[in-house]
Structures are given as C-alpha cells and as structure tokens.
Amino acid sequence: MRKRRHSLSGRLLLLFIVTAVLLAVVVRTGFRVALDRNMQELAAPHLAEYVQHLLDEMGDPPRPENAALLAGRLPLQIHLRGGQHWSSRDETPTLDPRRTSSRVLPDGTFIEVSRGRQGFVVQARRGDVVVTLAPAGFELAEYGQLAVILTIVALLGVLVLTYHAIRRLFRPIETIQAGVARIGSGDLGYRLDIKRRDELGDLAASVNAMADDIREMLEAKRGLLLAISHELRSPLTRARVNAELLDDGPVRQELLVDLGELEALLGELLESERLSGRHVALDRQAVDPSALLHELIAESFPDVPLQMDLDPEGTWISLDPIRVRVMVRNLLTNAIQHTPAGRSAPAIVSRVDDAAWHLSVADHGPGVGPEHLGRLTEPFYRADPARQRARGGVGLGLYLSRVIAEAHGGTLEVTSETGNGTKVQVELPISIER
C-alpha cells in the first residue's frame, strides 16, 4: 500500500496557521481578562463623578423632562424606575454580574458599574428610584463583529503572504528534485543553476559534483571497453589467420567457431557502446521492411524453417538498415536456438501502420520464468548460463536489439510463458514514405 505523500510546505503552512490561531486566542483572552480587571477599577471613580453630576441635573427625585433633555443633548440612554417610569429607549440595558463593581456616593447613592454590550452600564439607586445609564448609538457587539471580520481578513492576508513565502523558499528544492530526476534519467550533461549561499546552494553544488563524477566514471568505463575491444581485434585476426593454416580437423573447426564467437562478441560490444550514448548517429534511409526481412532471411537463414507473416512489399519507412538487420538477426538467432527439434518453427510477423513498424519474433521453446523475464535485455544476462554457453550465446543479443530499438525511438518488449515459448515485440515509430 502506497503511503500518502505529505508536502513539507503544507506542513509548515499548517503549523503557522495553528500557531497563529493559538497566539490570537491567548492574546485575546489575556487582553480581555486584563481589561475586565483593570478598566473597571480605573473608570469607576470617573464614572461615579459623572453620574452624580447627571443625577443632580435630573433632580431629586429625577424628573422625566430633565432626563429627556439630557438624553437629547448627550449620547446617553436613560431609564427611570420607581416613582415615575420613563425610558429613552424600549430596551433597558442590564448589568453583567460577572463584570460589575459598586460604590457608594457621598449622598448615599448606590452605584453599580458593569461592562455590557452597550459599553459601560451604570445603575444608580436613590431610595426606591433606579436610574440606568448607558451609551447611545454605540454597540460593542457591532464593533466586536467588525473587529473579528477585520482580524480574519488580516489573518487570511498574512496566510497568503506566508504561503507565497514558503513556496518561494521551497522552489529551489523543487528545482533540485527535477534536476536529480533528469540526471537520473541519463542526461548527465544537465546541471542545476542554483546560486545561493545557504544549505540549498550547497545541496545543488553537491548534486552537480555528483553528476560530474558519474559522467566521468561512465566515460572512463566506455573508453576502457572500447579500447579493450579495439586492441583485441588485431590479435584476434592473427589468431584466425593462424587457425586457418592448421590442418583440417575437429580442433581447427572448434577453434574457428570460438574465434568467430569472440569476433561477434567484440562487434556487439562496440556497437552497443556506440548506440548507448544520448546522441546516436543513425544512418537512416528509406527502407522497405518486408523486402529487408526477405533478404536477411535468405542470406542468414536459408535452410531454417520459419513461419513468416509479412506485409506486402512496397511500404517505405525511415530506418537504419544495417542496425535493423543486426537486431532482426539477433532475434531470429535466439528464437531458432530456443526452439527444440519437433516443435513448430519460429514465427516472424511484420506490420506497418501510420504510426509505427510492429515486428514480433516468437519461438516455441521452453520459455523462461517470470523471475528472469525482466532481466533478459540486460547485458550478459542468461536465464540458463550452462545451456546458453553450450549453444554459443553470451547474453548480448537481446540487449543489443533493445539498444537498437531505443536508438530509433522505439521499444522492445519480451513476453514468455513457461513451456509455451518466448515472444519479442519491437515497435519503431516511423515516417512513412509511399
């Protein structure tokens, strides 16, 4: 089961959101507690003096007409109870017992001060008369809602800026990831263009240095292999000439066969190394695949029974004929070698459509197990080394065929079923010339 991928930038953004929310809650709670505890104590004495002045203006007992004049002149709600009932508004503000402080004025008036929805609510008692005062036209709830909205908008703005900052911070990591993938795919000439004086810059430089080292090692390996192959050709030629001078007999024939296999091995090594580079120089020509197959089979396998299902001749496509002949020869040789006596002959099928040339070569041999199937196109890999050696193979035929197919921009796929043979399918994209 594939584990779900978690973005590092997303984690950082989530951490920032959680931190910001917790910080906002802590600050709001602390500020509110401090306000509740201190503001009332600071404001209560001033409010008491102010209330006493207002009560004096309303009279003793308070008269509604005086209260009405005050309510019209000042931004106040005034509510009278006891004696004469009068109110400047229909709804009377109430005290919050949790946020109420009290004091007694010099004339005996009992005053309670509370912070409610309308701000500070003051209730004064003189005997049976209760006067309630509250600001008019000012709702803390409305301002609180506005403050919440503004806070949310500001928080969202901060989150957007933070997101872009995090994306900018992690953009070099994405570039490094893409560069590593490109280098890993074989583009060893690619280099990361990240010039930073931090850890990401150091990482990019390390990736570039790694690519340089890998390229140098591969070039050294290729150069060594080509040099060895080239240097072996001269003594191999001399050995063949000397073998030809021997008296005819089993020893001479076996020696010539071994020398022929060695020559073929060197040729396949050189060709595979030439084709394994990123910039392969193919000698493309207009080729009729059916005519090429007929000619190749007549030259290389004249006496071998084959089942052939080929398109009619007359379709011309762009291929490298020499290398395609090598590929087809290797595929047919493998199929013939792995078809035991008494079994149906190997089958070759060729079809050309508007997109590709489809070629398949199948034998009716014992097949290979699934544990070997994925490695058959690796160099020098043999599913049965002992049997393969007895038949003269070295494990380069399928590898070279795959390299030739990929050099044409195509694919080579091997399928097999134990007891029912092996099938190789080649697909080469083409430009059709009719």
Report pLDDT digits (tens) over 304-333. 899 999 999 888 999 888 888 888 988 998
Spatial contact of 397 and 330, defined as CB atoms under 8 Å apart: yes
Residue 404 has a pLDDT of 86
User: Which tens digits make up the pLDDT trace of 95-140?
Assistant: 777 777 777 777 777 877 776 555 678 877 877 777 777 777 544 4
User: Which tens digits make up the pLDDT trace of 374-400?
Assistant: 777 776 666 655 444 444 455 677 888
Q: Is the dihedral of CA 110, 113, 114, 117 positive or negative?
A: positive
Residue 279 has a pLDDT of 47
pLDDT band at 280 (very low <50, low <70, confident <90, very high): low
Query: Is the model's pLDDT at 90 over the cut of 80?
Result: no
How far is 1 from 343, CA to CA, in rounded Å? 44
- Length of the chain measured in residues: 434
Query: Is the model's pLDDT at 434 over the cut of 50?
Result: no
Instruction: Name residues whose C-beta falls within 8 Å of residue 85's C-beta, 6 or more positions apart in sequence.
Output: none
How far is 118 from 137, CA to CA, in rounded Å? 9
Query: Is the model's pLDDT at 233 over the cut of 90?
Result: no
**Lowest-confidence pick of 67-76, 136-145, 188-197:** 136-145
How far is 157 from 165, CA to CA, in rounded Å? 12
Spatial contact of 145 and 85, defined as CB atoms under 8 Å apart: no
pLDDT band at 423 (very low <50, low <70, confident <90, very high): very high
Strand partners, 348: 308, 361
Residue 52 has a pLDDT of 77
pLDDT band at 150 (very low <50, low <70, confident <90, very high): confident
Residue 213 has a pLDDT of 87
Most confident segment among 28-37, 114-123, 279-288: 279-288
Q: Average pLDDT, stretch 29-56?
A: 66
**Lowest-confidence pick of 26-40, 56-70, 145-159:** 26-40
Q: Is the dihedral of CA 162, 165, 167, 169 positive or negative?
A: negative
User: Which tens digits make up the pLDDT trace of 346-364?
Assistant: 999 999 998 899 999 999 8
How far is 222 from 381, CA to CA, in rounded Å? 19
Residue 9: which H helix or E strand, with range?
helix 8-34
Most confident segment among 56-60, 144-148, 334-338: 334-338
Residue 350 has a pLDDT of 94
> For the residues of 240-308, what is the DSSP string, one character each?
HHHHHTSPSSHHHHHHHHHHHHHHHHHHHHHHHHHHTSSS-----EEE-HHHHHHHHHHHH-TTS--EE
Residue 217 has a pLDDT of 82
Query: Is the model's pLDDT at 149 over the cut of 90?
Result: no
Q: Is the dihedral of CA 279, 283, 286, 290 positive or negative?
A: negative
Residue 35 has a pLDDT of 57
Averaged pLDDT of the chain? 76
Residue 341 Cα distances to 88, 336, 369, 393, angstroms: 116, 10, 21, 19
SS3 state at 58 = helix
The residue ranking higher by pLDDT, 7 or 120, is: 120
Residue 214 has a pLDDT of 84
The residue ranking higher by pLDDT, 218 or 323, is: 323
How far is 345 from 172, CA to CA, in rounded Å? 58
Residue 382 has a pLDDT of 65
How far is 115 from 267, CA to CA, in rounded Å? 97
Instruction: Name residues whose C-beta falls within 8 Å of residue 268's C-beta, 6 or more positions apart in sequence.
Output: 394, 396, 397, 400
Domains defined along the chain, listed by start: 8-138 (no CATH), 281-433 (3.30.565.10)
How far is 93 from 81, CA to CA, in rounded Å? 13
Residue 337 has a pLDDT of 87
Query: Is the model's pLDDT at 34 over the cut of 90?
Result: no
pTM over 0.95: no
Residue 319 Cα distances to 276, 314, 403, 404, angstroms: 17, 15, 14, 11
Spatial contact of 327 and 401, defined as CB atoms under 8 Å apart: yes
| Distinct helix (H) and strand (E) counts, the chain | 11, 14
